[in-house]
């Protein structure tokens, strides 16, 4: 049973996240030849103040 963890910045709509999980499930079923009900997806939404790239925090700058 595949368990897929996805870490991303928060801020996407519920509809976007649901659609994303549906698409990831379809790809996983196709590529790994598993049943849909075996796929688990966990979305970890990270606040921008807790995400850095090259030492630069991804806080929304105004």
Catalytic residues: 2
E strand residue ranges, 10-61? 40-46, 52-53, 56-57
| Angstrom distance (rounded) from CA 2 to CA 40 | 6
Check residue 59 and report its DSSP letter: P
């Amino acid at each position: 049973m595949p368990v897929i963890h996805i870490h991303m910045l928060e801020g996407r709509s519920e509809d976007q996240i649901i659609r994303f999980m549906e698409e990831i499930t379809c790809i996983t079923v196709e590529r790994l030849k598993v049943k849909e009900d075996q796929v688990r997806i966990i979305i970890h939404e990270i606040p921008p103040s807790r995400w850095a790239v090259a030492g630069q925090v991804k806080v929304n700058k105004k």
